[in-house]
Structure 1
Amino acid sequence: MDYKYLMYLHLVTVVPCFFIGTMLLLIKKGTYIHINFGRIYMILMVITAVITLFMPAEVGPRFLNHFGYIHSFSFLTIYTVPTAYRAIKKGNVKSHKRKMVLLYFGAILIAGGFTFTPGRYLHQLFFG
């Protein structure tokens, strides 16, 4: 099966998350903009995480002949987004902030960095 369409859909959902997440880390918290872009960010992050679960690991060892180490970031996202949302709804700003920072650095920066390693599509695209 050709998983290229899933990869493109994943990129369409995750690239905006990089920019929205960066903006959310930099702007004042609790504002109308923060709340609304935060909702968009959370929705896009869950969508992108679910998409990746259907994409088989192409690099490194596989579990169940499908999942690789990189999928741990998908599971991290699927767990973190609802718990961060619940935390802020309960007024636990500290927990919400910690989870959202973990999500950004883990699922966006670290997992995103892994996509540029040899054998992956983005490595091939950018470095030939």
Structure 2
Amino acid sequence: MQLTPLIAVHMTAAIAAVAIGPIALWARRGHASRQPHSQRPRLHRAAGYAWVALMLVTALSAIFISDPAVPNIAGFSAIHLLIPVVLFSLFLAFRQLLRGNVNGHRKTMVSLYVSACLIAGAFTLMPGRFLGHMLWSHWLGLV
């Protein structure tokens, strides 16, 4: 597999989502009633919308990425199962907000960040994966 424009878009959006996610999660910590003039809720909303947009780009671009070296069905491998999980989780998180379920929204977003960004991101750094191969072989020269 080589670095195509599609993979570059996917990878850039994913890395940016990993970086922006903690800002969105941190910015909402605390109580707005104790911080009436705080910018943190605005920061939370701005970083949250940016993170959601990046996750949508990451998930939707993944639809068109396939590696024939990985076992797949019609070009879709097991990692592609994250696409509907991400899309459904984002839908669920916004639905929870619309219904006033802030706690459910928070839990959904935290679990989505952990599963789709941290855990899936860690798997992409394995030596046999494209990004892992670039990291360990080309950039660090370890493998």
TM-score norm. by structure 2 comes to 0.79
SS of equivalent to 1:70:
helix
CA RMSD of aligned residues (A): 2.0
Counterparts of 1:47-126 in structure 2, within 5 Å, are 47-57=57-67, 60-64=70-74, 66-126=75-135
1:41 matched to 2:51: yes
Paired residue for 1:13? 13
Residues 59-111 of structure 1: CA deviation (Å, up to 9, x unaligned):
542122x1111111222111111210111122111211111011101110111
Residues 16-69 of structure 1: CA deviation (Å, up to 9, x unaligned):
1111101122223471110121111111101110000110145542122x1111
Unaligned segments of structure 1, at least 5 residues = none
**Once structures 1 and 2 are overlaid, which stretch shifts more, 28-37 or 112-121?**
28-37
Residues of 1 paired with 2:68 and 2:44: CA distance?
Answer: 36
> 8 Å contact 1:59–1:120 — kept in the other structure?
no
Residues of 2 paired with 1:59 and 1:117: CA distance?
Answer: 15
Identity of aligned residues (%): 29
> 8 Å contact 1:73–1:106 — kept in the other structure?
no
User: Residues 3, 125 of structure 1: CA spacing in aligned structure 2 closer, same or farther, 3 A cutoff?
Assistant: closer
Residues of 2 paired with 1:57 and 1:87: CA distance?
Answer: 36
Shift of 1:127: 0.9
Give the aligned residue type for 1:42: V
When Rg is computed on C-alpha atoms for both structures, the one with the higher figure is: 2
TM-score norm. by structure 1 comes to 0.88
Unaligned segments of structure 2, at least 5 residues = 33-40, 138-143
